[in-house]
Structure 1
């Protein structure tokens, strides 16, 4: 009796590649990558330290995810150095950038804007000092926000207001509480995408000038 098929010993030829998370016969995203993309669209950004599995799924399926986002007029930002995955609206022909309906617009209040600026400055300063993990405590945040109080029309930094802002920043994955330590927060590398360094110093200087002017106005009015 003759065999119909020639037996191929192991190692004599290529074996079929095992199923993995990078593709399937239909060219669709595997489940883990679909979940990761859904999370990325919902959150706007994630990190390899905070969401390791999702980040890895996006990294492994980068080309396919970029193609999907391109169809939605979105761009993928994947920074292997900092471990950041983020999305942003691609520039449209009419210049309407950032208007895609899948991107949740987050108009920041003045207080939130100031908080983002001081966090970004602290991140830059500590990164330049060689810190691998950038941490700031509530006292440091309050001290950094102090010079800008005239802009917020407040005489003192209310802890309730700061807590509310920090809760929003936690939701946006910009800060995370340090485990086991009260009132300390780790600043995520995501803030590097949120605020450009070239813009940071200019805006901070303008706000400082505005705050100084408001502080001086009552004195000049009493003369």
Structure 2
């Protein structure tokens, strides 16, 4: 399992994984990994065991941690919020967003500039990174339409959002401190 297994795109692997999940959990536990299966949302993935579990001291980290830029983290938080709002409405199962909707969401948090083309290029780079991470998927045949993948709910949870909020607060504190020094 390298990456995420989705029920809708990996049907055979999904069936095997659900049927053999106890054996898979035992197998990956030896490697210091946890199997996470969300049958309701239709995805499964491996996660490193928390560092506070002492039985796995000294094992190398098999799943790398990725440091995200501020704007990519912000985009993930905005997408998660949009997904929660979409789920609250309960009409459909797949959240689809156009590139222009994503640009509009993120543009509110980017510095004002006169060069709109540069702004769109920056947002496109952030979108591409989120696609690369697997939280957005381009809709086949429509390059400007994206599906927000439900795996986002597993990674952007309340704890992650609280950490982002703390980071934003310290960032805002530094920014306000810097402006006072220059005055």
Mapping of residues 51-130 of structure 1, within 5 Å: 51-92=10-51, 93=53, 100-130=60-90
The answer (yes or no) to whether the contact 1:147–1:208 under 8 Å persists in 2 is no
Q: 2: distance between equivalents of 1:211 and 1:144?
A: 20
Question: Which residue number in structure 2 is paired with residue 47 of structure 1?
Answer: 6
Give me the TM-score of the superposition, normalised by structure 2. 0.77
Q: For 1:186, what is the secondary structure of its paired residue?
A: strand
What is the deviation of 1:183? 1.1
Greater displacement, 82-91 / 201-210: 201-210
Distance 2:108 2:170 in 1: 10
Alpha-carbon deviations, 1:138-161, whole Å to 9, x = none?
1221222123214xxx73563333
Structure 1: tracts of 5 or more residues without a match: 1-39
- Where is the strand percentage greater, Structure 1 or Structure 2? 2
TM-score (norm 1): 0.65
Task: Rate the CA distance shift 1:46–1:128 in 2: closer, same or farther, 3 A.
Answer: same
Matched residue count: 176
Select the structure that is richer in helix: 2
CA deviations 1:74-99 (Å, max 9, x no partner) are: 100111100110111112435999x8
Q: State the secondary structure of the residue aligned to 2:106.
A: helix
Structure 2: stretches of 5+ with no match in the other structure: none
Counterpart pick for 1:173 among 134, 142, 160: 134
| RMSD over aligned Cα atoms | 3.3
Give the Cα separation in 2 of the matches to 1:164 and 1:100: 31
User: Rg: which structure is higher?
Assistant: 1
